[in-house]
Chain A
Amino acid sequence: MTGHVGRRSFLRGAVLGAGVTAAAAAGTQATAATESLPFHGTHQAGILRQLARQSIVAAFDVIAANRAELTDLFRAITDRARFLASGGTPTSVGITAPPADSGVLGPSVPAGNLTVTLGVGASLFDDRFGLAERKPVRLTEMRMFPNDALDAAQCHGDLSLTVAADDTDTVLHALRDISRATRGAMQVRWKINGFSSPPRPEGTPRNLMGFKDGIANPEGTDIDRLVWVSGGGEPSWATGGSYQVIRLIRMLVEFWDRVSLSEQENMFGRRRDSGAPLDGAKETDIPQYAQDPVGTVIPLTSHIRLANPRTTGTDGSRILRRSCNYDRGVDDNGNLDMGLIFTCYQRDIAAQFEAVQTRLIDEPLVDYISPFGGGYFFALPGVSGPDDHFGRALLA
């Protein structure tokens, strides 16, 4: 909480804004196309995929003793991820060992639209593995923003691993399988389970504040320009990868539920029911800020307006958002611990995520959220084929 002043001063803007906003109702159509998620490819399939219903986001610390063991670790993760994403019957081991598979998904493992997305953190490029010279040039440790309340135990990590699939058992199975194959080489640093809600009633899924989250995302050729790393002074091994920002953000949902609808909507700049910008009718409508220069319709301090002012100067700071919700237990004061696993991809964290986040410092919404963990990572290029493995070019 940044205190009473911020909340009250915003309240005035909220009332102002709500009074002149046009009502809007038309719904957008969500297309739930079945997706092909091949494990092999130029990029990791988990980055662009439609939001999976279930996910686990975890950071690991590498405890491998040397570069050769680190290479073995990347090979092992690749082998397991390839099997899990493809599905199949686990090897029978006869009387030589306990079963090779946990059996959680039955005798034959279904692919279940599983993706496994692997990222590397800045700490992997310290002096342990002789990789300092190969660090992606824009990779740093996650910085602290003024409204953050970071818990060191839930920040950073040598690796990030995001498993996403249709069902909870599929992602849990995948995490157990990968952990079992890699215990001596990496250990979990922090972990959080996420989920993405079904469209309510249509369009972009909602976050736990009740608002559609992730409506305006780059598409088509913008993806190449804004998401995938290529050139730009980056090491050649990094081509096809993408910078990944993960921010674990607590939502103070009890407090939020005691806030009036108009105030809520003015904080986001969108209608809660439809997701439409406050000057529009449906979620896909583009806000017309030029016609509202002082923010009488969409307040200048609203989340969407600060995050993406839609000017030529800020176009390059757009990010690909892939966030999901989390829910995990109860506080000492009886409040529910739930919120957002904010995740975004970009080719330059400073010029994109941090530029956006800097504009958002002290936005009215900060009174209702509390970022407590996460990290910056570089999502590796995809595994090109059966003979390739994660990080092969990095470690070669």
Chain B
Amino acid sequence: MSRRVVGVVLALVVVVAGAGFAIWRSTSAEAVGDPVISVSRSACGQGWSDPKPGPQTFLLHNTGSVTAEVDLIDPGTGTVFGEVDGLGAGTTRPMQVTLGNGAYAFRCAPEETDPIVGPTATVTGGDERSGPAVVPVTRNDLLGALRTYQDYVGAGLSTLSDQTGALVTAVRSGERGASEAAWLTAHLTYERLGAAYDAFGDSDGAINGTADGLPGGVTDEDFTGFHRLEYGLWHGQDMAPLAEVATRLDADVHTLRDSFADLQVDPNDLGLRAHEIMENTLEFELTGRTDYGSGTNLATALANLDGTREVLNVLRPLLVPRLPRLSEVDDWIGRTDTVLRSGQRSDGGWTPVAQLDRAQRERINGAVGELTELLAPVAAITEPRRVS
């Protein structure tokens, strides 16, 4: 899975970086007479002579010699109303905001220097502030969450390595049913660790990769790990060769467990994962694309939901004052949990997604879809920002 998640992140970054410039330059929302605001160490925020309420556009012009980040903030609380990232030296970009009554200032953060807060402007005669604004999260703010999360993943990997050990034993014994049960237990443990994909590096591809992108498909020698084993177990392949697949999986898991203490979860990843785990669920589990025979995509989706819960729990102290719809997020996690469990049969087995009846599948797709929409702001809000 990691390749997919990483790919998504990289692609997003590239698109934003590449497209932002051209689009912003031609924006029709800009009007002649929009105030031009200087951005630099020496002249941060200068040029805002006539503060007024309502929707408006500032043209931010970087007069310095290095790239800078600019925020429009309340200098008293640090609340951010607008942000322009990566403003190149000598370039101009618009910032669109809707301002209510109160005090505002531009904060300029040129690369390699501490941010500077410009002069305060006071807006009067408009509405009370009501628009979207939030106090930024810093890397420091995220340290506690990261520690807790790292402990969660570490403990999960420890459990997982016991379970893949048991899986090897089961496959070696030649008992297919017992092996399938052991496979599911271990796989779900891994899927609960969703937020740490980036931190797992190449290990994730070996442990949980699919046959996508492999020229030989399911027979490709680079197809390894859980899904390779799943394919063999549920397609009646001989157990003896599968023991080798299980052994390799177990070894990869142990390597990951042993090296995890040295790996760092990027502070930026935590918030991203809050919605990307369920984005992956939507794309790969609810479509059945990662089903190599077990038909357990719904169980995987529930494990992913557990992983999302853990990310949210470690971020919760930061989210409570910043995400007004947090209780809605919690509600939809509960609803998603319930509707996913509706796909579990009375004998404990799982209905493959393709076999769900239409109404049930729509409810599942809709719940996960709504949840991803509600989770999307978490990444924006918890992206670490420089404030001082």
Contacts and interface: CB of A to CB of B under 8 A. Distances in A.
Contacts of B369: 183-184, 187
A180 B371 CA distance: 11
A98 B28 contact: no
B367 A187 contact: no
Nearest to B24: A107
B133 A96 contact: yes
B132 A96 contact: yes
B380 A96 contact: yes
A97 B362 contact: no
Contacts of B97: 92, 94
Given A183-B366, A184-B367, A97 B23 contact: no
Contacts of B82: 92, 94-95
A63 B362 contact: yes
Contacts of A63: 359, 362-363, 366
Contact of A95 (B28, B55, B381): B381
A49 to B, nearest CB: 26
B260 interface: no
Nearest to B132: A96
A106 interface: yes
Interface size class of B (residues with CB under 8 A): 35 or more
Interface in A153-191: 180, 183-187, 189
B77 to A, nearest CB: 14
A34 interface: no
Contact of B131 (A94, A107, A183): A94
A180 B28 contact: no
Interface in B79-122: 80-83, 96-98
Contacts of B359: 61, 63
B373 A94 contact: no
A63 B361 CA distance: 10
A97 B366 contact: no
Contacts of B380: 93, 95-98
A31 interface: no
Contacts of A91: 98, 131-132
Contacts of A93: 132, 380
Given A89-B29, A103-B23, A94 B366 contact: no
B367 A106 contact: no
B204 to A, nearest CB: 25
Contacts of B134: 94-96
A185 B332 CA distance: 12
A108 B28 contact: yes
A91 B55 CA distance: 9
B136 A107 contact: no
B376 interface: yes
Contact of B98 (A92, A97, A180): A92
A95 B383 contact: yes
Given A108-B29, A184-B367, A95 B83 contact: yes
Given A89-B96, A107-B29, 15 more contacts: A61-B362, A91-B98, A91-B132, A92-B55, A94-B97, A94-B134, A95-B71, A96-B133, A98-B377, A106-B23, A107-B28, A108-B28, A183-B366, A184-B332, A184-B373
Interface of B: 23, 27-29, 55, 71, 80-83, 96-98, 131-134, 136, 322, 332, 335, 358-359, 362-363, 365-367, 369-371, 373, 376-377, 379-381, 383, 385
Interface of A: 61, 63, 89, 91-98, 103, 106-108, 180, 183-187, 189
10 contacts: A89-B96, A94-B132, A94-B134, A96-B134, A96-B322, A98-B379, A107-B23, A108-B29, A183-B370, A189-B362
